[in-house]
Amino acid sequence: MPGVGHVIPHTPLAIDFWYVRKCPGTRLFFLSHMHSDHTMGLTSTWSNRPIYCSPTTARLLRLKLQVKEKWIHPLEVGEPSLLPLDDIGKERLTVTLIDANHCPGAVMFLFEGYFGSILYTGDFRYSPSMLREPCLRANTTIDVLYLDTTNCDPNRTLPSRQQATQQIKEIIRGYPNHDVVIGLYTLGKETLLVELAIEFQTWIEVTFERIETLKVLELPDVFTTDRGAGRIRVVNRSGVCRAAVDKWNQEQPTLAILPTSRPLVSLHPMHVVPYSDHSSYQELEEFVFALKPTSLVPIVGNCVPGSLSALIPGKKRHEILVPQSVQRYMLRESESLLRSTAYTRHYYRHVRPLSPKGVVFEQESAEGEMDTENSENDSDCILVTCENDSDCILGLETWETSALSRQSLGHGIDQDGNIMSDDNNSQHTGKENDQHITDCMSNSPKNDSGSSSGSLPELNGEYLNKLENSIIKDLPFAEEDFKNWGLLPRSFVQQFPLCPLKDPDEDDL
Ligand SMILES: [Zn+2]
């Protein structure tokens, strides 16, 4: 499951996206909040890249994921912050964090820079007060709105959280002799718990793990880990099921309450209450109508209802010119990744000279910004430009050594590096090909021992050189072409082997 994060095209920015090798040009990482679908891929081993988030999220990040302190950069909510977008202090962005009204520490990000204005809501529950935020009031145009579309169904209405809280209170009042179990995720809805504690004058019983989180949040002192100390107990959401409820009722009459916007059926003693920390469709409409963004990107899923899209004025977004200093900034990170140990285990294919475009990056697709799925599919693509006032952009794609060998040999390259015809190739069975691949990889004569090729041998350098030379001979362009055009530095050509472009429709062998 890839999570719900996004890499912002034409920028070195990513939000809630932690697969660094899939976005090598990204330099600044932002975390909207600590729900697990937004931290997927983020671990205690995170290094070399700053993570920007709210102060509360920063504390939770240390506690829950043990991310090293030096990489966590909390930013004050509501105050614009300037962050560098290059190494020379020329290009900067302004980012302002806005309370997302979702869970503790959750924020929206407003980014302003050479790319225009981008508002990334993360998960949020709309409140009219958001539109009164100085940064949103001052901005007349949001170029791209990344919108939390969790509840984006025009056919569903949701009560406000105040109304849902009242519903929960009514249910509990109806069963004065019952204990109450509330199923929650590890973070969120703490305000509801505090309100219930005050209303029913009871401790809220929680696990040791949860109370560690609650301590960080500095909430009113209504929580305890003492079993039996209070009438209301919190358990993990996944722990509320029919069997568990039956078991609890064998010991003591117990109500189970699930505060969630998911369309589940209530069946006494399990009560599902539509208490949601995500905006309802009607709230999203109000938000989009007020902001009138130039374009809209759903954070959850791939599409938005037509009725919501219709609220967008239909203005054309201006072309984005990525400053050269920013391109170099992104490229430097890409190069350092390529040189890292992990990357030296990969080889490169798809060297594809494109039409010279100066410093203008490729236009957005008709669908708008890159979504998570697309970023997955294109995730190994990196943009490469030349060091000196370059006019070229190359797309490189990495692949595993095993894929290289299969691909190359599938095109028909024998052990001596000669290109074979498809006819020759077709004489081999799949099994024979596998053996052939193994032999070529080890660059040794047929292995008389007949040992298994269960583990892939290292590619032999000499064989690789032969392989590359044979492939380069067949390319429709030569290294000389690049040099003549001034498109590619010699060091680059020497560093990265060139391989032919693979037809995307072609089946892998
Ligand atoms: Zn969330």
Å from CA of 246 to ligand 1 middle? 30
Question: 167 alpha carbon to ligand 1 midpoint, in Å?
Answer: 22
d(CA 439, CA 431): 12
pLDDT at 310: 87
What is the Å distance from ligand 1's center to 309 Cα? 23
Distance from chain centroid for Cα 452 = 39
Ligand 1 centroid–CA 33 distance in Å is 7
Cα–Cα dist 152/102, whole Å: 16
User: For the whole model, what pTM was predicted?
Assistant: 0.67
Residue among 190, 187, 189, 194 at smallest CA distance from 221: 194
So what's the pLDDT on residue 325? 95
Hunting for tokens 């909390």 — which residue is that?
74
Ligand 1 mean position, distance from CA 485 (Å) = 50
Element (H, E) at 191: helix 190-200
pLDDT score recorded for residue 70 = 96
Give the Cα separation of 396 and 352 in Å (integer).
8
CA of 106 relative to ligand 1 center, distance in Å: 8
Per-residue model confidence (pLDDT) at position 216: 94
The per-residue pLDDT for 37 is 95
Q: In the chain, count H helices and then E strands.
A: 17, 20
Cα(37) to centroid(ligand 1), Å: 7
CATH class entry, domain 6-154+280-309: alpha beta
Q: From CA 448, how far away is CA 460, in angstroms rounded?
A: 19
Question: What is the domain partition of the chain in residue ranges?
Answer: 6-154+280-309, 161-273, 324-495
The pLDDT score that the predictor gives to residue 473 is: 57
Q: Is the peptide bond before 104 cis (omega within 30 degrees of 0)?
A: no
**Exposed (0-12), middle (13-18) or buried (19+): which is 71, by Cβ within 10 Å?**
middle
Distances (CA, A) of 476 to 283, 351, 386, 498: 56, 12, 21, 12
Centre of ligand 1 from the C-alpha of residue 30, in Å:
14
- Specify the pLDDT at position 338: 57
Separation of 185 CA from ligand 1 center, angstroms? Answer: 10
Residue 102 alpha carbon to ligand 1 centre in Å: 7
Indicate the CATH number of 161-273 among 3.40.50.12650, 3.40.50.360, 3.40.309.10, 1.10.1200.10: 3.40.50.12650
The pair of three-digit structure tokens given for residue 218, joined into one six-digit string: 């500095």
Alpha carbons within 13 angstroms on the beta-carbon side of residue 92 total 10
Please report which residue ranges of 204-340 form alpha helices under DSSP H.
208-217, 242-251, 281-291, 306-309, 324-339
Query: How does pLDDT run along the chain (509 residues), one tens digit per residue?
Result: 467 899 999 999 999 999 999 999 999 999 999 999 999 999 999 998 999 999 999 999 999 999 999 999 999 999 999 999 999 999 999 999 999 999 999 999 999 999 999 999 999 999 999 999 998 887 678 999 999 999 999 999 999 999 999 999 999 999 999 999 999 999 999 999 999 999 999 999 999 999 999 999 999 999 999 998 999 999 999 999 889 999 999 999 999 999 998 877 777 778 999 999 999 999 999 999 999 999 999 999 888 888 888 888 877 777 889 999 999 999 876 666 656 544 444 333 333 333 333 333 333 333 333 333 233 333 322 332 323 333 222 222 323 333 333 333 333 333 333 333 333 333 333 333 333 333 333 333 333 333 333 344 445 556 666 666 666 555 555 554 444 444 455 555 455 544 443 333 333 32
Q: Is the separation of the CB atoms in 171 and 197 below 8 Å?
A: no
